[in-house]
Amino acid sequence: MRLMSAVTFTLLSAVICCSLTEKLPNASPPNIIIMLMDDMGWGDLGVFGQPSKETPNLDAMAAQGMLLPNFYTANPLCSPSRAALLTGRLPVRNGFYTTNGHARNAYTPQEIVGGISKDEILLPQMLKKKGYVSKIVGKWHLGHRPQYLPLKNGFDEWFGAPNCHFGPYNGSIRPNIPVYNNSEMLGRYYEEFTINRKTGESNLTQIYLMEGLDFILRQTKDRRPFFLYWAPDATHAPVYASKRFLGKSQRGRYGDAVMELDYSVGQILSWLRTFGIENNTFVFFTSDNGAALVSGPKGGGSNGPFLCGKQTTFEGGMREPAIAWWPGHIKEGSVNFQLANVMDLFTTSLALAGINPPDDRILDGLDLTPVLLDRPHTLQNRPIFYYRGNELMAVRLGQYKAHYWTWTNSWEELKNGINFCPGQEVPDVTTHEQKEHTQQPIIFHLGQDPGEKFPISVLTKEYQNVLSMISPVVEQHKKTMVPGIPQLNMCDMAVMVSQRL
């Protein structure tokens, strides 16, 4: 395993730092760091009201930057949301969905045949135009076959795994997930990279932290702009934390994992200050989807006041914690209620780098730099589209959200103890069969009712006004929607053979 001790790393960096801090100018374009958590909920941060107050570094990051309470993912499941971030396009456009079932979420298990389409353009590919060096640390989840891996899709470096840390598996039938350093397989989860399912102990977050710090150090030394996509997965079940953090949280093992991630964020931001590059590094913190309430209470997080969680298109499944940090550029302690989503990070990153976005395709992400830098803009009325698989389930415009379909999970799953909305049943809303409301959508005012518990009466003038406002937006969206070729339709156990070699 390529990992120096923390003491050696600190001493080495201190020597290099001395030669950098006084000489290093603020270069242009800025470095970009996107921190994408896994299944972390909106309500897991102290700044968003978590009563345990166990995220001091993230809370400080918000105090030094901008909090975005109305930030969304593009899909309530890991793989499609990550594909959307890196392409700036809805999963139904970039192909990260399935047509095997209506409104069915899909991801990239070991037996998936497909992956990110060769026709898509990923963020690191675009950033090369301005000389960026790009690295992903952690979970990829856009396909595990060779042609789909990060180094084939614009990244210069990778330390992590193609899938989540499910397991352990019987290697003769299904191999444990491999861990890579670039194109070299270093080992596997539960084997060379241990995760103790009984105690929850694992050093993976610390390994990912060190990899991120080392990358920043090397690029700073070489004076090259960099893009770091830091994607740890400790808060995805089965949750884990290192020995130093186990048993420390009031919230149990999930809280331990959050505390370690919070610590890691603090270390990365401190690292930027150490090298004097904080004013030339844009950092964005968010999550891939809402907390997995099905894993709770011990293995799942909090979505705050919002309904349901991961896998659903209710607010708890798609509204994410979000913090933007860029000292000297983003006003400290600011809060902006602009509707935004993870696809905006693609377009915003390109704008920061001074790169024009691709003009041969429809992009769903918008440039948020006017919002972040407090400049005049016309983004206020942009809609948020809530997709589940191949179906548009809901749309938000302003404070209003209209549900055209409702569904949590099936009665069969519920009878087997799988519940995406435990303790949150709302009659005729959290339905266990797919219910269509396209002729008369269920509408909520999210400012007054963030928990989506009290639908606006269809008999009111307010309902009619909202419907007349949202309907043209939906019609226009559907008219211009050209779905991509679905990449997540086919599974075959044979494709796992390559992972056993």
How many other CB atoms are found less than 10 A from the CB of residue 130?
14
78 is known as an active-site residue: yes
Instruction: Give me the pLDDT at residue 7, please.
Output: 45
On whether 38 is known to bind a ligand per the annotation, the reply is: yes
Indicate the pTM of the whole model. 0.95
Give the span between the Cα atoms of 454 and 329, in whole angstroms.
40
Lowest mean pLDDT among 31-35, 94-98, 104-108: 104-108
| pLDDT for residue 13 | 54
Lowest mean pLDDT among 5-19, 95-109, 342-356: 5-19
Query: How many other C-beta atoms can be found within 10 angstroms of the C-beta atom of residue 134?
Result: 26
Nearest-angstrom CA–CA distance, 129 and 152: 16
Residues 6+ apart with CB under 8 A from 361: 89, 93, 121
- The answer to the question of whether 288 is labelled as a binding residue is yes
Residue 4 pLDDT greater than 60, yes or no: no
pLDDT tens track for 396-405: 999 999 999 9
- Are the C-beta atoms of 311 and 317 separated by less than 8 Å? yes
Average pLDDT, integer, range 44-67: 98
Mean predicted confidence (pLDDT) in 222-231: 98
Mean pLDDT of 327-355: 98
Q: Is 289 annotated as a binding residue?
A: yes
Amino acid 2: pLDDT: 44
Distance of CA 475 to the CA centre of its chain: 28
Report the alpha-carbon distance of residue 156 to residue 135 in Å, rounded.
6
Alpha-carbon distance of 464 to 456, in angstroms, equals: 10
The pLDDT assigned to 166 comes to 95
Residue 26 has pLDDT above 60, yes or no: no
With a cut of 50, say whether residue 22 has pLDDT above it. Answer: no
- Mean pLDDT of all residues belonging to the chain: 93
Q: Is the pLDDT of residue 15 over 70?
A: no
The reported pLDDT for the residue numbered 307 is 98
Question: pLDDT tens digits for 443-488?
Answer: 999 999 999 999 999 999 999 999 999 999 999 999 999 999 999 9
Q: Is 164 a catalytic residue?
A: no
Residue 44 one-letter amino acid? D
> What mean pLDDT comes out for the span 428-439?
96
Active site residue: 141, 144, 165, 236, which one? 141
In this predicted structure, the answer to whether residue 64 has a pLDDT above a threshold of 90 is: yes
Residue with more model confidence, 171 or 196:
196
**Angle at the Cα of 346 from the Cα atoms of 342 and 352, rounded to 5 degrees:** 120
Mean pLDDT, rounded, for 336-344: 97
The answer to whether 163 and 139 are in contact (CB under 8 A) is yes
d(CA 63, CA 57): 10
Catalytic residue among 17, 78, 308, 421: 78
pLDDT bin (cut points 50, 70, 90) of residue 24 is: very low
